[in-house]
Structure formats: C-alpha cells, structure tokens
Amino acid sequence: MNQSEGPIDPMDQPAELEELWCLRRQGILDQDAWLAARRLVLPKTTWRAWASRHLLLLGMVLILAGLVCFFAYNWEAMGRFTKLGLAAGGVVLSAGGAYWMGLDRLGGKVLLLTASVLVGVLIAVYGQVYQTGADAYELFLFWAALIFLWVWISDFAALWVLWMVILDYAASFFWNQVAQPEGWSFQFYFFSLALLHAFFLALREVMLAWGRKWLAGEWLRLLLLLTFLSFLTSPMMDWIYKDVEGLAFFLTPILWILGIALSFWVYRFRLPDPRALTLVFLDTCLVLTTYLIREIDALRGLDPGTRFLLSGLVVLLVVGSAAWGLKHWIGRMHQRRGKRTGMEAEA
C-alpha cells in the first residue's frame, strides 16, 4: 500500500511571479526586494530577449562606426555627388526601414535612430563639400532641429539621449566660437548646461506622469540627474579654489545649493528614489570634503602629517554622516512605501 505523502512545504516550491507580486502588494516585499526577486525568477526567454535587444543596438553602433570610417578613409577618392548620395541614401533607407517595420517594434526604433545619426553625417558631408562657412554650433542646432519630429514620435529613450547630446555639443561649440571670445565667464557655460539638463530631467518626470512609459527606465533619470549635478559641481570646485571672479563668484554657491536642495526635495518627498537620493548625497559629500580640506590646507603652522590626519578625519566625518543620513531617509522611504502598499492591498 502506498504511503500517504505529507504536506508540501511551501518553501520547497519554486517561486512564481504571481506569488511575488502578491507579496509586493501586501507590503511584505519592498520595491528593491521585488525587483531583485523578479530578476531571479524571470524565464530564460526574457534573458534571450534582453540579449537580443542589446546585440541589436551593438550591431547598429558598429555599422554606424563603419560608415563613418568608410567616409573618412575614402574621402579623397569619392566625388561630391557620390559622397552626398551615399549619405542621403543611408538616411532614406533607414527612415524607410523604420516606417516599414513600425515604431512599435525595437527594430523600427533602432532604424530611426540610425537615420537620425546619418542626418548628422549628411550635414557634415554637405558642409565639407560646399564649404558653407557655417559655425559648428549652427550645424549641430540644424541637426537637432531636423530630427526633432523623429525624436518626438519615436517613443525611444536612446534617440532622446542622442538629441540631448547633440544640443550639448551645440552649446559647447557656441561657447568656444561666440561666448568665450566675447569675454563671458567660463562658469556660465556650465550653468547653461546645468539648466538645460534640469529642463530635460523635469520634462522626463512630467511626461512620465502623463503616461509616456518609454521614459520609465531608471537609468534615464539617473543619467539626467548625474549630468545636472556634474555641471553644477564643476564651477563649484573652481569657487572652492578661488578661481571664480565677478558675478559668477556669487552665483556659483547659490545655484549649487539650490540645485542640491531641489534635487533632495524632489527625490525624497515628491518622487522617492533611493538611487537618485544617493547621487545627491555623493555630490554633497564631494563638495563638502573638498571645501573643508581646502580650508585645512590654508591653515598656517600645521605640519604635513597633521594636515593629512585632519583631512582623513574630515572625510570620515562627512562620509559617515552622509551614510547615516542616507540610510535613515531610505529606511523611512521604504516604511512609508510599505504602509501605502498595505493600505492599497486592504482596499
């Protein structure tokens, strides 16, 4: 006679996404734990799809690099109509392929990204063939204007990032060719880029709230926040080492403090995000430690060993305080998120 089997231990059963989602809705798993568990139980087909997407993007990058190298190597041997025809043909074929595949598929989005890059190649080829005399920043602005509609309809974050990089280059060339010869302070170049990326970051958050799910990638928020803080921090470092004069001397610390305070408020209270909050704390630590170590170096009568010891204590104090504060705030964020999730599950 067969022996009856005992009760099955739930811990011996394989985890399912549905069960994990139930735990998430009940507040037992926070957001980070849910994402980590989800990655572990995803089926193999998901990983194959992930690899396929990234290999497609890698292939696109290699093809574009090959096209640019082809033009550079064969430039002297090609006639002007050949140069323009190849560049324009690449744009037409890529855009036509994107239309044929449809922008709801990754292949169509990648082809539209390829067409956008080739528009820049076409502008560069045209400028070299006919020697238009246009400044470099004007060419980049023209490039950004030509592909704007593609960026808007593509629903593709990578194409949006490309468009932002083009505008960054336009601002850089404008500074070198127009602003710097006019005697503008170098810090205002970073202020303008910080303002531009703050606008992009705010636009991303607003559009995501309006349902543009293609902007939901966490990497995009972190990238925009990192660039925004970097452009604010660079002039702040000059200010610390007394390399700022005039109006920029007063604006630099004010803008940095406002940027840090606004970023903390948004990603602590309005849109709680531990990773974004970590970037804010890291930037604050960098500036504070640099400032305090600079003040220690300015003290007279201290031997090098004492200065080194005090600098080490400053680093420990600032970083330790930031780590404690970050842990405290993130813990409170998880508690509130768990309570809110539990209330939603009960409702």
Give a yes or no: residue 52 inside a domain. Answer: no
Residue 131 has pLDDT above 50, yes or no: yes
Query: How many folded domains does the chain comprise?
Result: 2
Q: What is the pLDDT of residues 299-329, one digit of tens each?
A: 877 888 888 899 899 999 999 998 998 888 8
Choose between 299 and 101: higher pLDDT.
101
| Cβ partners under 8 Å of residue 134, min gap 6 | 127, 142
Counting Cβ atoms within 10 Å, is residue 329 exposed (0-12), middle (13-18) or buried (19+)?
middle
Q: How high is the pLDDT of residue 280? A: 96
Q: What is the pLDDT of residues 170-189, one digit of tens each?
A: 999 998 888 776 777 778 88
Residue 156 has pLDDT above 60, yes or no: yes
Give a yes or no: residue 338 inside a domain. Answer: yes
Confidence of residue 237 (pLDDT cuts 50, 70, 90): very high
Give a yes or no: residue 94 inside a domain. Answer: yes
Nearest-10 crossing angle of helices 304-346, 274-298: 160
* Minimum mean pLDDT range among 15-19, 146-150, 343-347: 343-347
CB 108 within 8 A of CB 118: no
Query: How far apart are alpha carbons 65 and 140 in whole angstroms?
Result: 19
Same domain, 180 and 200: no
Same domain, 133 and 210: no
Same domain, 166 and 232: no
Mean pLDDT for the stretch of residues 150-160: 92
Give a yes or no: residue 54 inside a domain. Answer: no
Same domain, 303 and 229: yes
Range of the domain at 132: 73-184
Same domain, 202 and 322: yes
Residue 55's identity, in one-letter code, is L
Give a yes or no: residue 230 inside a domain. Answer: yes
Q: Domain boundary at 184, 207, 236, which?
A: 184
Average pLDDT along the chain: 84
Same domain, 344 and 239: yes
Mean pLDDT for the stretch of residues 56-72: 80
Q: How high is the pLDDT of residue 42? A: 65
Using alpha carbons only, give the angle 315, 320, 336 rounded to the nearest 5 degrees: 145
Confidence of residue 117 (pLDDT cuts 50, 70, 90): very high
Choose between 228 and 7: higher pLDDT.
228
Give a yes or no: residue 28 inside a domain. Answer: no
Nearest-10 crossing angle of helices 80-101, 44-73: 160
Q: Domain boundary at 162, 184, 206, which?
A: 184
Give a yes or no: residue 289 inside a domain. Answer: yes
Contacts 24+ apart (CB under 8 A), 9-17: 14/41, 15/40, 15/41, 16/41, 17/41, 17/42
Query: How far apart are alpha carbons 142 and 140 in whole angstroms?
Result: 5
Mean pLDDT for the stretch of residues 223-247: 90
Give a yes or no: residue 37 inside a domain. Answer: no
Same domain, 175 and 209: no
Q: What is the pLDDT of residues 15-59, one digit of tens each?
A: 666 677 677 666 677 767 777 777 676 665 566 666 777 787 788
Query: How far apart are alpha carbons 186 and 61 in whole angstroms?
Result: 33
The one-character DSSP state at 178 is I
For residue 285, which phi and psi values (nearest 5 degrees)? Answer: -60, -45
Helix, strand counts (H, E) of the chain: 13, 0
Confidence of residue 4 (pLDDT cuts 50, 70, 90): very low
Same domain, 177 and 207: no
Confidence of residue 252 (pLDDT cuts 50, 70, 90): very high
Question: Cβ atoms within 10 A of the Cβ of 100, count?
Answer: 10
Same domain, 204 and 336: yes
Same domain, 298 and 231: yes
Residue 255's identity, in one-letter code, is L
Nearest CA to 90 out of 67, 58, 73 is that of 67
Q: Domain boundary at 184, 216, 231, which?
A: 184
Residue 6 has pLDDT above 80, yes or no: no
CB 239 within 8 A of CB 290: no
What is the full DSSP assignment across 194-225?
Answer: HHHHHHHHHHHHHHHHTT-GGG--HHHHHHHH
Same domain, 124 and 200: no
Choose between 180 and 145: higher pLDDT.
145
Confidence of residue 1 (pLDDT cuts 50, 70, 90): very low
Task: List Cα–Cα distances, 279 to 15, 225, 260, 263, in angstroms.
Answer: 33, 8, 10, 10
Same domain, 221 and 122: no
